[in-house]
């Protein structure tokens, strides 16, 4: 699937392992990696840090910025992996627009599995209290969307290996 793809977006709710798995994938593939959260404007970070969920209006400029980063890297001939929650189909449609080389890797887990991970995580701006709002917004990949779903059960290295296998990457 990714022999022609030049971008993989690792998607899922907070605590699903997007950053860890994304960095492992990028390392294995020799591609550049970007933590999508680093592209949020300061207002979004402040809002989430204070325990408030983002609205669609908050997310659109951030999603556009991720798309611009992908385009800039592609313009330099670089393939990329980027972490981005991409919770809704409309967000993924925006990210795919004009980017036929883009595929999604959805890291799927139960509320309990993700809650356990969040309980172990320290120093992240996104509080565990926002998990419910993310799960409410989550629209899993549709059968007509380019991408695959991988379970978050296992060590990050196992999850990344599973992802590489189903993405048909080297």
**How open is the CA angle 113-115-116, to the nearest 5 degrees?**
65
H helix runs in the chain, sequence order = 18-29, 42-49, 56-75, 89-96, 111-120, 131-137, 156-166
Tokens for 116?
């356990």
Report whether pLDDT(3) > 50: no
Beta bridge partners of 149: 106
What pLDDT is attached to residue 122? 55
Domain that holds residue 145: 7-166
1 within a domain of the structure (yes/no): no
Tell me, what CATH number does 46's domain have? Answer: 3.40.50.300
Overall number of domains in the chain: 1
pLDDT tens string 140-166: 999 999 999 999 999 999 999 999 999
Mean of all residue pLDDT scores within the chain:
86
Among 103, 88, 107, smallest CA distance to 147 is for 103
Higher pLDDT, 115 or 142: 142
- Rounded to whole angstroms, what are the CA distances from 109 to 91, 120, 126? 20, 16, 18
57 within a domain of the structure (yes/no): yes
2 within a domain of the structure (yes/no): no
141 within a domain of the structure (yes/no): yes
161 within a domain of the structure (yes/no): yes
What pLDDT is attached to residue 2? 41
Tokens for 7?
């971008």
Q: What is the pTM of this model?
A: 0.85
Report whether pLDDT(1) > 50: no
Report whether pLDDT(19) > 60: yes
pLDDT tens string 50-95: 777 778 898 899 999 999 999 999 988 899 999 999 999 999 999 9
Tokens for 167?
């993405």
Distant-in-sequence, close-in-space partners of 10: CB < 8 Å, separation ≥ 6: 18, 21, 22, 25, 81, 82, 83, 84, 104, 105, 107
103 within a domain of the structure (yes/no): yes
156 within a domain of the structure (yes/no): yes
């Amino acid at each position: 699937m990714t022999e022609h793809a030049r971008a993989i977006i690792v998607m899922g709710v907070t605590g699903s392992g997007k950053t860890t798995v994304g960095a492992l994938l990028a390392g294995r593939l020799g591609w550049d990696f970007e933590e999508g959260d680093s592209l949020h404007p300061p207002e979004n970070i402040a809002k989430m840090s204070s325990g408030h969920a983002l609205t669609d209006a908050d997310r659109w400029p951030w999603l556009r910025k991720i798309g611009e980063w992908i385009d800039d890297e592609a313009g330099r001939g670089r393939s990329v992996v980027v972490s981005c929650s991409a919770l809704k189909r409309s967000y993924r449609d925006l990210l795919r627009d004009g980017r036929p080389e883009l595929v999604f890797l959805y890291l799927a887990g139960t509320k309990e599995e993700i809650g356990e991970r969040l309980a172990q995580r320290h120093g992240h701006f996104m509080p565990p209290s926002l998990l419910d709002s993310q799960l409410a917004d989550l629209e899993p990949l549709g059968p007509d969307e380019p991408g695959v779903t991988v379970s978050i059960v296992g060590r990050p290295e196992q999850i990344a290996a599973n992802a590489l296998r189903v993405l048909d990457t080297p």
